[in-house]
Amino acid sequence: MKGIVLLCFIILFVFSFPHRIFAEEIDSRIEGLKAKITELQTQENSLSKQISIINSNIEMTTLRISTIKNQIEKLSSEIGELADEIVRLEDMLTKRSELVLHRIPESYKRKSLPTFGVLFLSSSVSDFIGRIKYMARVQEDDAQLLFQLKATQNNFNERKSLREKKKVQQETLKKEYEAESKALDRQKKEKQSLLDQTKNSESVYQSLLAQALAEKQALQRALVDSVKVGPVKKGDPIALVGNTGYPGCSTGAHLHFEIQKGGSWINAEDYLSGKEVNDQQTGGRNRIGNGSWDWPLEGDIIVSQRFGKTPWSWRYAYSGGIHTGVDMISNTSAIIRAPKDGTLFSSSQSCGGSSIIKIKYIEHGDGLVSFYLHVQ
């Protein structure tokens, strides 16, 4: 028996050992890629550096997908084995239950027969002793049968519980697999978008970085060098959508709307009320907004770039590759309206050489400021 147990352990170890090596190797490669990205981030900004970071992220995501896929396949195999074992245990449980139900009446009859009755039926003393021993053995067998039935029931319930747990784990992994697959698609699109926008040219890449930085610097100067217009109420018109800053800091007529609190960028979508818009970044119509502020534009709105990581936000190196606002236009009206009460300021700043960008901003109190860039 010990030899069989040892053999099973050896077989289990041999078959599981490659999986452990595989997992350890992937973990090691992922850690190596993380270290590579950290090192790249300390280097001077360049197109080749940016592509190397994206490639490393793509490789990391691919490795994670491979790991999750193997875990899902392993769980599928284990769930299948448990299902077979549950069927076997269910069959065993049925048979043992039937046997117990058959044996109980018989055992009760024997147990109800008094000792003197056994003596009366016995032909001799030795026959009497033999009958008594037989009855004792039958009772032991019955007790053992009941014990086996209980053990089978417990094992059956444990296997079913374990299978359900593994199914939950599998569903969780499937969601992770889906999320990582979407992330991989985004990273590949990000790389292609970078190459398309820069035309795979270092000079174009550096020019686009400089334009984005110039826009940030113009906004910072506007906070210092601006003209106070006065108080505005929610819904008051404050400007018109424009393209000021072109070509140095704008690529077309749109409103760049962003919010800062205490001098730090925050997600403007958390302040805007929920509204269905044409979301060009993700495709189709989506509901954007989680707050109570009015949108600065009315009517049917097209959002070309949202807050956060976007296919174009690589150029905002100063913010860690985060687009700090929401870019939008309206098919209905070019009028920009105050989304909330406050004090309006106006500024014009040089941006990207000879270009002039016009900026409006509203101080809403408590360190909250909303900005409106490229206005007419």
Half-sphere exposure of 23 (CA within 13 A, CB side): 10
**AA identity, residue 52:** S
Residue 252 DSSP SS3: coil
Where the chain has pLDDT below 50, the residues are 1-2, 4-15, 108-113, 115-119, 121-122, 128
- Examine residue 247 and say whether the peptide bond preceding it is cis (omega within 30 degrees of 0): yes
pLDDT for res 91? 76
Burial of 286 (0-12, 13-18, 19+ CB in 10 A): middle
CB atoms within 10 A of CB 188: 13
**What is the reported pLDDT for 41?**
86
Q: Tell me where in the chain the CATH 1.10.287.1490 domain(s) lie.
A: 22-198
pLDDT at 119: 47
Q: How far apart are CA 262 and CA 250, in angstroms?
A: 26
* pLDDT for res 108: 46
List the CATH code of the domain at 22-198. 1.10.287.1490
**pLDDT for 19:** 56
In whole angstroms, give the CA distance from residue 54 to residue 35: 14
Residue 144 one-letter amino acid: Q
Residue-wise pLDDT tens digits, 55-90? 999 999 999 999 999 999 999 999 988 888 888 777
